[in-house]
Amino acid sequence: MTHHVVVVGGGISGLAAAWHLANRYGEQITITVLEAAPQFGGKLASRSICGIPVDVGAEAMLATRPEAVSLACSVGLEADIVHPATTASRLFIRGRLVPMPGGLMMGAPTDLHALATAGVLGPRALLRIPLDFVLPRTPIEGDVSVGEYIEKRLGRGVVDLLVDPLLGGVYSGRADQLSLEATVPMLFRRAKEHRSLLAAARQAMGTGGRAVGAPRSPIFAGLTGGVTRLASTTVDRLLELGVTMRTGATVRELVRTASGWRLTLGSAAAPELLNASAVILATPASPTSRLLASTAPGASIELDAIEYANVAVVNLAYRASDVGALVGSGFLAPPIEGGTVKAATYLGTKWAWIGSAADKQGLVLLRASVGRYRDAEVLAHTDEDIADLVHADLARALPLSARPVETFVTRWGGALPQYAVGHVGRVDRIKSAVAQVPGLAVCGAAFDGVGIAACVSSAQAAVDQLAGHLNLPGTSINSENGTHG
Ligand SMILES: Cc1cc2nc3c(=O)[nH]c(=O)nc-3n(C[C@H](O)[C@H](O)[C@H](O)COP(=O)(O)OP(=O)(O)OC[C@H]3O[C@@H](n4cnc5c(N)ncnc54)[C@H](O)[C@@H]3O)c2cc1C
């Protein structure tokens, strides 16, 4: 009998899971992807501003790990992979933009000279840092928050002005709540070996591994036309491979049957039932928790405890004649500065394909993100007011002499999971509970990393787990074009 595998959730994790399933086992199984929203992609989405398409969710893939870029290549996007023209971000501190000091590891400094000359920290905060070399060891029992550990070693200034803006940029969370083990795992491991955080951070950065001045390979990659194309192209390839792709298909219930699983879709009044041999849940923590309530109650409770930050991305188009010189790729603003904007990106400076499209129209395109975990007051405003607040904030930091000609706001409720202290242990417990249920796997941003690359990796692991459950023998594949060899 042919197995029917259902992937619930058509964000990048679910799409990657379906892609790996189709490539490796497509001739032995049938695959269905069920997505609740009217379109696939989840946090990968795009929209046009002044006729130029821009990503309104994720806009870059980490290129220092292989998974996202490999997926892009395998779905046929290799020729469209681009790298940011600059990733030199700045910090908005005490009302002005200052360069981001070199050698930071998620805000923890490794180069004190670069830190001292950047002008981010005042003399008191700078003088506090070397105490790290003489202070007794800070014991780490289990996990600890990034903020607590770094404050103990280096002082509050480093947390407020360096760590918080960087963590805010990735997780929309606060250093005092996020787990060191989950968000900066390399530093966590080294911090257990070293008394000094500076020594631990230097070792974690691998200082000395690369000759000074040697070329760095790019840290990020994008796609011409936007990273959303990773999702849309994967959908196209999956359709070509015969995968059933359904949008507007919310899964409300998941129960085990004698031969596998039964999923309930649609409204309570007119439910649709679907049978499956195996299921991959690639949904955010909250729906995953609800769907596992009867089959893996322990995992369900743990999933329910994972909280999310709500954010909004604001895109703004200015007349080029109203914008002075912009230096770098954008800026991050620490929460203690009290502004609305958490991060801003100069889209045309960062991505050449956006720059040339905007230049042709005499425009400069900016993107700002607002909203942090437990600090989403700004999102209570109307879109118009949010855009006004964002413009006012940007005008304090940047040479803008007039209002934007077009703006739009994209709200992301449940945008980013918060990896709270103890997250790694929680994920281990969820995964081992799920692994005990035959024909079930979970993946997605809630677990081992919020970035696209981490999501793709978690999808791969979920497919491996299911293949074991279903006893699927491997097939040879051509991973470059996705055909069966
Ligand atoms: C504003 C923003 C900017 C970001 N920028 C970057 C970046 O530049 N680079 C980067 O690497 N990462 C970035 N991220 C993080 C990254 O985009 C996400 O973590 C990742 O895309 C999550 O993918 P996912 O598939 O796990 O989850 P999602 O994208 O959330 O997909 C889950 C899907 O499941 C569907 N679903 C939910 N419940 C059900 C149900 N019951 N039945 C069926 N379907 C259901 C949802 O509709 C959704 O489409 C950003 C995130 C945000 C919000």
Domain boundaries, the chain: 3-43+225-306+420-484, 100-205, 308-417
Q: Tell me the C-alpha distance between 395 and 364, whole Å.
A: 14
Contact call for residues 363 and 50 (beta carbons, < 8 A): yes
DSSP 321: G
End-to-end CA, the chain: 23
Contact call for residues 243 and 32 (beta carbons, < 8 A): yes
User: Residue 478's pLDDT is what?
Assistant: 40
The correct answer on CATH 3.40.50.300 for the domain covering 100-205 is no
Q: Tell me the C-alpha distance between 94 and 284, whole Å.
A: 37
Ligand 1 contact, 442 CB (< 6 A)? no
Q: Domain spanning 3-43+225-306+420-484: which CATH class is it, in words?
A: alpha beta
Closest-CA residue, ligand 1 atom 5, reads 58
Closest-CA residue, ligand 1 atom 29, reads 42
How many angstroms separate the alpha carbon of residue 444 from the centre of ligand 1?
8
Closest-CA residue, ligand 1 atom 10, reads 451
The β-bridge partners of 238 are: none
User: Residue 211's pLDDT is what?
Assistant: 40
Ligand 1 contact, 455 CB (< 6 A)? yes
Of 55, 59, 167, 283, best ligand 1 pocket probe by most atoms within 8 Å of the beta carbon? 283
Contact call for residues 435 and 280 (beta carbons, < 8 A): no
Closest-CA residue, ligand 1 atom 26, reads 444
Angle, helices 67-74 vs 452-470, to 10°: value is 70
**Ligand 1 atom with least separation from CA of 249:** 43
Ligand 1 contact, 283 CB (< 6 A)? yes
DSSP 270: S
In 291-353, beta strands by DSSP E? 308-319, 330-332, 341-346
Buried b (16+ CB within 10 A) or exposed e, 367-397: bbbbbbbebbebbebeeeebbbbbbebbeeb
Give, in order, the Cα–Cα distances in Å from 397 to each of 166, 343, 439. Answer: 18, 11, 53
User: Residue 25's pLDDT is what?
Assistant: 94
User: Residue 5's pLDDT is what?
Assistant: 98
How many angstroms separate the alpha carbon of residue 116 from the centre of ligand 1?
38
Residues, the chain, total? 485
In terms of DSSP bridges, do strands 308-319 and 363-370 run parallel, antiparallel, or are they unpaired? antiparallel
Closest-CA residue, ligand 1 atom 16, reads 451
How many angstroms separate the alpha carbon of residue 5 from the centre of ligand 1?
21
CATH of domain 308-417: 3.90.660.20
In terms of DSSP bridges, do strands 483-484 and 477-478 run parallel, antiparallel, or are they unpaired? antiparallel
**Ligand 1 atom with least separation from CA of 369:** 1
- Report how many helices (DSSP H) and strands (DSSP E) the chain contains, helices first: 18, 24
**111: alpha, beta or left, given left = phi > 0 and alpha = psi -120 to 50?**
beta
Ligand 1 contact, 71 CB (< 6 A)? no
Q: What is the pTM of this model?
A: 0.94
How many angstroms separate the alpha carbon of residue 53 from the centre of ligand 1?
19
pLDDT tens for the chain, residues 1 to 485: 689 999 999 999 999 999 999 999 988 999 999 999 999 999 999 999 999 999 999 999 999 999 999 999 999 999 999 999 888 899 999 999 999 999 898 899 999 999 999 989 999 999 999 999 999 999 888 999 999 999 999 999 999 999 999 998 899 999 999 999 999 999 999 998 899 999 999 988 874 434 434 456 788 999 999 999 999 999 999 999 999 999 999 999 999 999 999 999 988 888 999 999 999 999 999 999 999 999 999 999 999 999 999 999 999 999 999 999 999 999 999 999 999 999 999 999 999 999 999 999 999 999 999 999 988 789 999 999 999 999 999 999 999 999 999 999 999 999 999 999 999 999 999 999 999 999 999 999 999 999 999 999 999 999 999 998 888 876 434 443 333 32
User: Residue 474's pLDDT is what?
Assistant: 60
Closest-CA residue, ligand 1 atom 1, reads 57
Same fold, 100-205 and 308-417: no
